[in-house]
Amino acid sequence: MGAAGPLVRVALSREPVSLDAEAARLAAAASPRGAGSLVVFMGFVKGLVDNKRVDFLEYEAVEDLALAKMREIADWALRQGDVYAVEIVHRVGRLKPGEPTIYVLVVAEPRHLAFRLASEILDRVKREVPVYKLEGREDGEYWILGEHERIPRKK
Amino acid sequence: MQVRVRLVSLLREAVGSRELEVELEDGATLGDLLKVLYGKFPKLREVIESLGKRGLDVLFMVNGSTATPDKRLREGDVITILPPASGGA
């Protein structure tokens, strides 16, 4: 894989990421080492859930624990084969429909490994990283816990 | 001794604060801390119990590691109470 070592970045961000810039950065760094496949997953806020209009999703994280767990997941991914780069960025703050919520970028060979790892990284982030969301809909606000449990927010 | 408790999501809202300093006897356990917390914030106990009834058990972390109620606490420990996560897409 070369002397420079893998490229890893995990972050929580209030601002969106430039996918063009990140993809170009990772491709430029990994290409000299023989990599040629970059997979990106980007989640974004749904504007309609249970047939109700969504006005916002507000994400909060236990920052130190979230970053440590994201790093653990990235390090796990790096050990799964010829993996050159892993980047996981989770947004925090209040986001509107259509706005990005999470980015997972993986550079790996062969490409099916990159596709598989992007999916598995996302699954692990959803299950293990202490990030929580509040959903604001036309019919009220809901704390979301786990995959899809909704608890109405009492005013 | 003093320990710090961190809360998120609806647990944070039940207590009205993201962080609390709690005074405990030396040698107190996580279980002792929870008794003190629930005594001061019955709403927190109510929320945690109702989550449990829905299969949404909370996890207790002490200084970044999961812990059970018998875990002995020390001055300056940070205890985080985590409901099931809802991050990702």
Q: Which tens digit of pLDDT belongs to each residue from A91-142?
A: 999 999 999 999 999 999 999 999 999 999 999 999 999 999 999 999 999 9
B86 interaction partners in chain A (CB closer than 8 Å): 126, 131-133, 144-147
Domain count, chain B: 1
Say if the Cβ atoms of B84 and A102 lie within 8 Å: no
Q: Which among A70, A72, A56 is positioned nearest to A130, based on CA atoms?
A: A70
Q: Which pTM was predicted?
A: 0.94
The residues, any chain, with a CB within 8 Å of residue B65's CB and separated by 6 or more, are none
Phi, psi of A154 (to 5 degrees): -85, 130
Number of helices (H) and strands (E), helices first, in chain B? Answer: 3, 5
The answer as to whether B42 is a domain residue is yes
Amino acid present at B54: R
Say which residue, B40 or A4, is predicted with more confidence. B40
pLDDT tens digits along B12-66: 999 999 999 999 999 999 999 999 999 999 999 999 999 999 999 999 999 999 9
Task: Please give the pLDDT value at position A2.
Answer: 44
The token duo for A10 is 């995990």
B84 interaction partners in chain A (CB closer than 8 Å): 145-146, 149
3-state secondary structure of B20: strand
Say if the Cβ atoms of B87 and A90 lie within 8 Å: yes
CATH number at residue B56: 3.10.20.30
On whether ipTM exceeds 0.90, the answer is: yes
Q: What structural domains and CATH numbers belong to chain A?
A: 7-42+62-129 (3.90.1170.40)
C-alpha to C-alpha distance for A6 and A112, rounded to whole angstroms:
19
The alpha-carbon gap from B57 to the nearest alpha carbon of chain A, in Å, equals 10
Q: What is the DSSP letter of B71?
A: P
Range of the domain at B9: 2-82
The answer to whether residue B75 scores a pLDDT higher than 70 is yes
The answer as to whether B23 is a domain residue is yes
pLDDT tens digits along A62-90: 999 999 999 999 999 999 999 999 999 99
- Residue written as tokens 């002995």? B72
Are the beta carbons of A34 and A4 closer than 8 angstroms? Answer: no
The token duo for A75 is 């390090």
Task: Please give the pLDDT value at position B72.
Answer: 97
The token duo for B19 is 């962080």
Task: Identify the band that residue B89 occupies on the pLDDT scale cut at 50, 70 and 90.
Answer: confident
- Residue written as tokens 């405990």? B24
Cα four-point dihedral sign A116, A122, A127, A130? positive
The answer as to whether B88 is a domain residue is no
The answer as to whether B63 is a domain residue is yes
The token duo for A55 is 């006005």
Say if the Cβ atoms of A125 and B13 lie within 8 Å: no
